Structure 1
Amino acid sequence: MRNTKGKLEICWSAEIIASNLDLLTEILLWAPAKSLLKFKCVSKRWHSLISDPKFCISHARFQRMLNRTADALMLSNGYKSTPEFHLVPLKHSTKVPFFDYFNVSEVKIIHSCNGLLLCCCKLMLDKPKFVKTTQMKNDGLCEFRYFVCNPTTKEFKILSPPKPTYLSLSLAFDPLISPYYKVVCICKGSSSKQEFQIDVYSSETESWSLLPILFEMPLGMTYSNGVFLDGSVHWYSYAETSLYFHIDSQSVKKMPMPFMFSWEGMDWDIMYFGESRGHMHLVLTKNRSSLEFDVFEMEFEYTGWSLSYHVNLQSMRLMFPELTWNFMNKHAVFSVLSVIQGEKDEEKKVVISVDGRAMSYNLCDGTSIKICDLEPRPRRSEIARVPWHYEGCQAHPYFQSLVSV
């Protein structure tokens, strides 16, 4: 009798939840995006609720506050022959399906932002046609196409071409700010070779808008690796200052670089520039073969960079003697894929690529663990002695999301 009574109470509770749309919505907000895709098969009502764009953005906002650490790092493959990407899991065994639904053979990730990816693909042109975004390849013409995709839902949208004189594209999306994303493009100004402009694509209007502002870039500014944080896209440079673009005010502003860049910026190697849980990080070294580097963090309201950690990977070398550190080429010793800001300071870590492995180094206690093996990147040429290392600019944070593109 007790078992029968207990089963009846469970069924009765389940019916109450299923019949109460508000309660069901609150419960489903806690579920990961991939689980919700499976839950669509439960009933027509669940399918309708989970497919509702309002629920999708509410889920993205809730998960953005609940899980601010990426599930994994997607490693850009440098236009590998098949559209698949290697993953470095940060939480658990995360898998992303092949990007075969693009129906193209060569795809490259340019930027990632809170569950969405900005990608580029090469399409061979059947008929010769000259366009500014066309390059020669294997005695044939190929054209670049850009699109934004959600790797969780497999949705993607092809963007209209940016200005022919574009230099870089960066994705800007924060569900806590807006359900719409934007693509920020740096392009050359029409009046001077030293002046540049910002062209912005909005998913709300599905169009580009060229801003009337003109600006000059600081010395050695790397405009290809933008970092989106607090409503702005940031770029680093090897000068005393760099730039960031504030999207809402549509203004280009100056951002300081670490103090040593004012007199010896070009002597430093910027190994990583990115953000995690609202913190912007910069990793610098003078010589990778020393196995030492510094981790800087941007201070409040861009008042400067503070040195957070000085790291020496000799402890990792001793803990994992099987690792091979290639000291013949200082740029191939190791690379920093990401700086991960944990919920607590003692959980802060750096993800390292060395000897075909992804390693995690705890910045607080200096301990190291192996995350996974890495597939070798394609070599630059057949005469290259060693495969490329993955660099920080090729590691893109992956978040599960239901948002529509």
Structure 2
Amino acid sequence: MESYVVKLGAKRSRTSKQPYPFSRDLKLKSSSPIASAAKVASSEDLLIQILLSLITNPHFLRLCNPLSPSPSVSSLFFASSSSCRSNPDYQFIPLDVNDKCLVPFKTLDFTDDPLGSGIAVLQSCNGLLLCASYRAREIKRTYYVYNPTTKQFATLPQIRHECSKYVCGMTLAFDPIKSPFYKVVCLRRSEKSRQLFQIEIYSSETLSWRASGEPFTAPKHTEFQNSIYWNGSVHWWNGSFHWWNGFTNHGCWRMDTHTLYFKVDEESLKQLPIPKKQYAYYHVASYVGESEGHLYLVEGDSDFNRLFKVYELARDFSGWFMKYQVDMSEVTNVFPEMMKKNPFHGYTLKIISLVRKEKEEKDGSFLVLEIPGGQIIHYNLVDKSVKKLWEFPPGHKFYNDNCLRHVLALSYIESLACV
């Protein structure tokens, strides 16, 4: 097993040469408690380490944020460079049109990846990022957990070599309210059969990988891997990973009746029914995502993309209930460019994110949409208002005929957690 590596992205501070302010007035013996405290106080390195230990203590985190189920999202970010580049660039979108967006990084350069192809973000979870070697074969890929706030990162040990070629996906689980430690869940095919899957778990507490449970089967079209360039299919919510069924070329769910979710603490695998289909053969699942401790699914009404239903999953996993209904024709009054010239193709848009506000009726939860022309807009689900949040810089290239990027936007959250 390879050793666990932790490095600090920022340079260490030098020990201060300035005398402790009390040392001129007090004649202290080197063995006295006050003298020891003075030595500690005169060392910036020691003070930083002590403060880091204090502010990352889980008890301290609970005192600072005792009621909120998860930290607040300050912005969204996504890979903006073309896939031919060796290292992706990242763009940040503010979630409030009046706020200046914090840009903690443009590219990921916290370490030199051994493959030399750069590093990309796969997932964001409560302030920590799961990153990996960019454009690398799985058997050679290195995985990292990175905190962009503190600039700390950890290099994960390689999973057993005989298992690495079977890896389907890696996902990060971190809940700072419950524990200062995080876990990385690996989903791989079983050595016994390609029709069976096996879960392996890495813990930052034990610094090692281990198998969890027995091999199992999954619905035929289940997706286990997140990507920087298309809609992620794995979501962390309520202590569980949810693996969603794959999309067809038309963005529609196939004929599976349920998805799988894995409760990390219990290490148990369960089934979750998909909301009842509204159409004979399929329905459109335009977006699935978590916000402020709630899991949402947005379902479209076919290719016309005019009406959307927003479902929320009950905390006890008992079922889905409809939260909002959205008529996109209201948005075209402000942004007519959403309408295609061909009326049979309906509205052109992509749902990037759903952001929940704690006081929904007062603050207004909202959708973040991408529309033609490189515009990112804010649609208030409560009062139906719409405004522009952000716009791609002039000359930015788009990826399809509809002038949509179809990017995967991830949540940026400031965190003091150690990795």
> TM-score band (shorter)?
0.7 to 0.9
Give runs of aligned pairs for residues 230-269 of structure 1, distance below 5 A.
230-237=238-245, 238=253, 239-260=256-277, 264=280, 267-269=282-284
1:152 to 149, 168, 171: 149
* CA RMSD, Structure 1 to Structure 2 (Å): 3.1
Give runs of aligned pairs for residues 5-404 of structure 1, distance below 5 A.
47-52=48-53, 55=56, 57-58=58-59, 60-61=61-62, 62-63=64-65, 65=67, 68-77=71-80, 79=83, 80-91=85-96, 92-93=99-100, 94-98=102-106, 99-103=108-112, 106-122=118-134, 133=138, 143-162=140-159, 163-224=164-225, 225-237=233-245, 238=253, 239-260=256-277, 264=280, 267-321=282-336, 323-326=337-340, 333-346=348-361, 347-355=364-372, 356-374=374-392, 385=401, 388-391=404-407, 394-404=408-418
TM-score normalised according to structure 2 size: 0.73
Query: Residues of 2 paired with 1:97 and 1:42: CA distance?
Result: 29
Q: Deviations over 1:127-154 (max 9, x none)?
A: xxxxx625xxxxxxxx422111011112
CA drift of 1:60 comes to 4.4
Bigger share in helix: 1
Change (3 A) 1:390 1:151: farther
Query: Residues of 1 paired with 2:291 and 2:366: CA distance?
Result: 11
Q: Deviations over 1:321-375 (max 9, x none)?
A: 4x45456796992111111111112211111111212111111111111111135
Q: Aligned to 1:317, what secondary structure does the other structure show?
A: helix
Q: Identity over the aligned pairs, expressed in percent?
A: 28
Change (3 A) 1:41 1:390: farther
Query: Residues of 2 paired with 1:326 and 1:96: CA distance?
Result: 37
CA drift of 1:82 comes to 3.9
8 Å CA contact 1:336–1:351 kept in 2: the answer is yes
Q: Aligned to 2:384, what secondary structure does the other structure show?
A: coil
Q: Deviations over 1:257-276 (max 9, x none)?
A: 10118x75x62222211111
Query: Residues of 2 paired with 1:320 and 1:359: CA distance?
Result: 9
Change (3 A) 1:204 1:332: farther
Q: Aligned to 1:365, what secondary structure does the other structure show?
A: coil
8 Å CA contact 2:262–2:268 kept in 1: the answer is yes
2:24 maps to which residue? Answer: none
Change (3 A) 1:123 1:240: closer
Q: Which amino acid aligns with 2:259?
A: S
2:20 maps to which residue? Answer: none
Q: Aligned to 2:186, what secondary structure does the other structure show?
A: strand
Change (3 A) 1:327 1:230: farther
Change (3 A) 1:300 1:97: closer
Q: Which amino acid aligns with 2:291?
A: S
- Please, which moves more after superposition, 208-217 or 58-67? 58-67
Query: Residues of 2 paired with 1:296 and 1:333: CA distance?
Result: 22
Q: Aligned to 1:223, what secondary structure does the other structure show?
A: coil
Change (3 A) 1:64 1:396: farther
Query: Residues of 2 paired with 1:363 and 1:153: CA distance?
Result: 34
Q: Aligned to 1:170, what secondary structure does the other structure show?
A: strand
8 Å CA contact 2:79–2:88 kept in 1: the answer is no
Aligned length: 343
Q: Deviations over 1:264-296 (max 9, x none)?
A: 5x6222221111111110011143543322111
Q: Deviations over 1:7-56 (max 9, x none)?
A: xxxxxxxxxxxxxxxxxxxxxxxxxxxxxxxxx99977863443226545
Q: Which amino acid aligns with 1:228?
A: W
Change (3 A) 1:327 1:166: farther
Query: Residues of 2 paired with 1:68 and 1:315: CA distance?
Result: 32
Change (3 A) 1:173 1:300: closer
8 Å CA contact 2:184–2:202 kept in 1: the answer is yes
8 Å CA contact 1:267–1:286 kept in 2: the answer is no
Q: Which amino acid aligns with 2:365?
A: K
Q: Aligned to 2:316, what secondary structure does the other structure show?
A: helix
TM-score normalised according to structure 1 size: 0.75
Q: Which amino acid aligns with 1:296?
A: Y
